[in-house]
Structure 1
């Protein structure tokens, strides 16, 4: 199994240039496409890439920028909030809605599982998953 996030890889560059299911997760790691990555990830139509967010409180307009850039290709975004449920501040909700995104917030395990189900159905989904 290869480890994603090598030193020579530009920050934000996709590990995989396509969407794949999330095969598993454990404390601070995600497994996908035969790889593993320590830290949070974005699973978007352009691929799976690292996400610099460590805690839900760090979600802001800048951290949402890669998601907003792909908003037209995403029917539904799952935002994994870590271990616990959380609520997005109204200005950030408005930002996502203005981009035409529908979104659901839930703890990361539930977000990853729901993303996998809809991805398997061929739905245009995305996930922003904060590592546990």
Structure 2
């Protein structure tokens, strides 16, 4: 990277807008990443999930069991979490909704493209937002 920052185990520190998405990944910070990502105030994390598996309410809950701990660590710095669930809207299970509420995290689940547009718009306003977004093929 040109700015001297380093990536550690699927993590890049700092806040960045998402420049592009599709073909199973995302472009941000003058680089690209294949796979899903979690964007927090501290930086962007790789979200290791089975990219070939269909997204369902149950699989989304299982995926969140893996990433909820890192989201909770920064919950005090997040006013809202956007979740991009791929090409289709997949709503959370009641159990997942309850886990997010108990963590003090307000959230909205939507298609990946909608989540990215909303995130980028609020990012420009310097809002306290986070996003977990599933990569799509398009």
TMscore range, shorter length: 0.7 to 0.9
The equivalent residue for 1:115 is 119
In the aligned structure 1, how far is the partner of 2:108 from the partner of 2:15? 19
Report the alpha carbon displacement of residue 39 of structure 1 after superposing the two structures with TM.
0.2
The equivalent residue for 1:44 is 40
| RMSD of aligned residue pairs (Cα, Å) | 1.8
The equivalent residue for 2:63 is 59
Q: Structure 1: which 5+ residue stretches go unaligned?
A: 3-7
In the aligned structure 2, how far is the partner of 1:27 from the partner of 1:106? 19
Superposition misfits of 4+ residues, deviation over 6 angstroms = none
Q: Structure 2: which 5+ residue stretches go unaligned?
A: none
Aligned positions of 1:66-81 closer than 5 A:
66-81=70-85
The equivalent residue for 1:14 is 11
SS of the residue 1:41 aligns to: strand
**1:97 paired residue among 94, 101, 122:** 101
**How many pairs were matched up?**
124
In the aligned structure 1, how far is the partner of 2:84 from the partner of 2:72? 16
Report the alpha carbon displacement of residue 60 of structure 1 after superposing the two structures with TM.
3.2
Report the alpha carbon displacement of residue 23 of structure 1 after superposing the two structures with TM.
0.5
Report the alpha carbon displacement of residue 9 of structure 1 after superposing the two structures with TM.
4.3
Report the alpha carbon displacement of residue 59 of structure 1 after superposing the two structures with TM.
2.3
